[in-house]
A and B are shown apart, each in its own frame.
Chain A
């Protein structure tokens, strides 16, 4: 916009300025048009209805982000089956990409007629704030009636739990139910390991020895592209899980009081990770490489290991086929209980203003029940519950199912570190870029994290 050159008298400007200011002062406070709903009361299990077929004619509006490949396929299939089973319930589906959903959901929820079922991101700045604003319905009564709490492992359900005021994450009421699981682990190139004369490592020491051997053998030991800021979080989380007790990681990652980033164990983890940079285990310029080009390079046979989440399974399977392997990060000793970063896909939640909570809950149950888990498997997704009961082809997909089943069964999942505080994803991502580029020492790095964590944990009470 080019500014007008026309002479404008000082009086006109003053009038304009006064107008803007008056407007600012007299308009009502932001958020006052949609007064917060009184915190939805907990309903007793006996008060909810599960006979969806007898609820009369209902239209459910569902907002999801299942837009890609296998995700879209399972949603379509399950929705069709639901409408066939309950002809009285009609689904109005609105699906958007993850980013689009994230930016529009906030506005939609504060309106007077929000959708009935929404897929809300678990983190504090999404689900946490919605809970605080009283916009989501606690689902505990439904969970009891439908038996969700027995079918879903506790280490999975806690990612959708908040206290009623939204302050405590990972504990309290249940606000959503996810369909799929995810776990961060180690992808490896079996052919390259064989060529180097190695077996998939069974212990953490073996793993590091394998990295060393790969380096000596002229391979890229570990593929990493950290331009997008967050990918190194998963690598760091994996190393941290070898050194720091799981309960401490959970406390840190849920942003609760009572832990610290500056413990000797954390220092050791950070130093080990920096050691990997020094020893040249990552490719030169990894901070300037994008996430997608990096895993694509791994798919094309560049790199022996890749620390990443199971969401890459389908694409890497296509690229590497039977050369691809996946395992949980090995422990200090062979057979040690698993500890790894993991969680769930976005949970489905019911809005507090929905006039049809019973129908909505029936829908959520339908897309997460035992049959739904089979549909999820057949469409190439990783079902979050009953994972061990699914039959899949031997190979990388089976590796992933076994790994996730083992991790959830032994409650070995630790939360994503960026859940800790609303700003932590940014703080940690930027700090890791600094650390890995040697712009910050391990101590400076941990002090930065400690400051963000402590500030939040103290003020959050």
Chain B
């Protein structure tokens, strides 16, 4: 029996086919051309724009020989410069970890900062934190690089000129004293001490008002909760307790409120195994394909304008009955309502809407379902979003009316990211004294008179209270690099406070407001412990919240401790009827409008605050797999209707605003709607972040959508996508099943292929020419649970930082030369089945693409793919210089200095995980714009000193963080013991918010991975491309979807003559026969 045939049919005849993008589906010419190739053609960047010729080569050769001979004459004298006074805690080459806190752009994480020789080089999660739980987002990981950003302000500025701190203080103080109305504009402040600073400032300058402005606000929710419960707060959610989750346009795994925390909770109830065969069911209703929606068991596309009506209908269906106009949605809602009702007290409905009415109904639904007190905790409010949009609008009105004398922008950039940014920009000159604490130039600071740059958070002291009773500290991990000053300190100095040193202030504030004496601990002890742990749980801030409210003059709107009375479900008092009638009025689809536009936040870019961070710019979007820019997402049907194809630049007009962006065809996008990401189109952001994409902030409104018109411009702009790269030729690498099938049989969905031999059918792994390897000591491995991988991309950035992976920029990504060692493949599936008939047709006219009916709403699977560390590694066999070899601990090792760059290994790699250095990214001046981590001295401070910076012409790939393995082993050896499980972590496994990637020693029976392998090796665990018998070290666990419909594409039968293969094989033969006959 010919094995290959079996496979073909297997894949295409009894299952869905997976395609990596529309290009593959449509057999796009460019795609077909590139699909077979590992690398794109000859280098496109040359020194002078022309191709290098033979003469240049000879010249270079001659010069090199001469240079080498000259260089060989004299060994360079290298200096070894020791410390003058070595700090006691610091030993060169041994990392120190400091607990701190990351809170930027609404994203919170308690972190440990790894420093080497006094410079932070990596951020890890703090295991002690109950909120982030030792995990971090991609944004938190990448925030490290903004510390070493050369575009930062190097000192205090007045206009364009430098000014000394003292002089600036003097001038600002006198200006503030004469000012009547002062406004401090900040994003959400979760720091009790910062609030105390603002209070001190307000006491000195009575006309001060603190405006909290979140670029990505949850104002609607705050106000709805105020209406429903009396307090403007965001409650704590617990997704792990919910058996049924419904998200309506809410990207809670990617961007909403506290995504890392929610991801962790969500995954807890999605893990299945021997002990647990239950998981939550997750419904998503959304207009665009979001990362969260991609993880849903059932996803329904709704038009943005239907959002309100859908929420209203769901409420009605839960409380009584209702019929939604759209048949498809109605059916989905019926099912959701039924499931929700049967999971009373164990369900959760969330919405990302910023509309009070919608959020009120959501509250009502949750109230009906008894979620309050179970999955929603209103007693522990989350403080991560506090901005009320009306406040900011009032501020802009004030500025326009000339009613503001002085303004201080502290961590905000409203000129860029507020919908009324343009108005503010024009009116800002009416404010006499304009001060900015911006770290690097931005659109708002550009208009400010005084710039008093704040420290980076890694240079600062501070504290945070992300949730009531959960506190954490921020401590500096490096001496300030530039002549900057902590903003809080500036405010204290201007307020003429007694204590101006912010460290003393924070300490004093904690002593006063947080520390409770009488536990036998002195404050010093308490402080030292908290600083060491980074977190403190239990204490509530005594004074600050109240004071803050007073300063605001809005006592009742702020999360004050006084008002937080225990609340139970019955306490809901929202005006549901009013909200319902409002929704009926507002959410009326404009049938005359051709399109609806929805704005969204990208996982990596957020509000655009980190636009100058190349790590985030190059991190592929979880869904679209694009980087370096935004675009218009449009559904396939609509694109066809409008005769638009991928990469066409279209002009989008919304009211009086218009912009031009390329088009990306996105399966899952609701028909007749488009979606565009915010956070792009920065005009002043630094060398890297400037001018990438278009700014759509002016379109932000409370409902999150508007009607739009699009027209083709005839222009064409290629979107930098990693999606169509690294083809795996449509093999069956995703194995999945429904929960129902899994419960029946643990191997559900597995493709247990057999090969027919003279001794009967055998598993491919049982037949081998190879001798294999013996692992006497360790067998390192990674196990990836496809079921809990949400595709967030934190691993990609963490790996990039840990392993000094260069950033290559948009052009090189388009050339398909991105360097990420780990990628997350996102596979769409379609519900269309491959019948033998269709297969036959495809064979005849080569139109496999036609056989797919493009699914409007595909199933999505995320698959993190790194080097599989094959035991029978194809790369090792073909390397002519033995640069890639196998270790006795299961690693496929790569010796860069041995590599001569033949790229045979990459050609022979079935997983396409090897990366070739086309350039000397570390030295090449053409990459300075995008790759500051290696091309300038400040940026280089971030490099991991334990990992080689690769040069041009060599291959590289995932090493399974061998430097961490070696370091961990050494620690164990020093202490004369075996390494403990969990002690050694790869960068990807350490950061993964859902623990989808597990690392460990398979030979250690007590390790998590050892146990999992023992438990799952004949059940859910599988190796990729088992049939080619490369025997990877890395294994995957099948994806289980909690659906009623069957999802398994493979019978999971390996033996017996009666399995499907035979029959289809016959068919296949017949087909062949027929074809031949026809030819004759």
Instruction: Tell whether A pairs with B.
Output: no
Which A residues have a C-beta under 8 Å from some C-beta of B? none
- Partner-A contacts on B (CB < 8 A): none
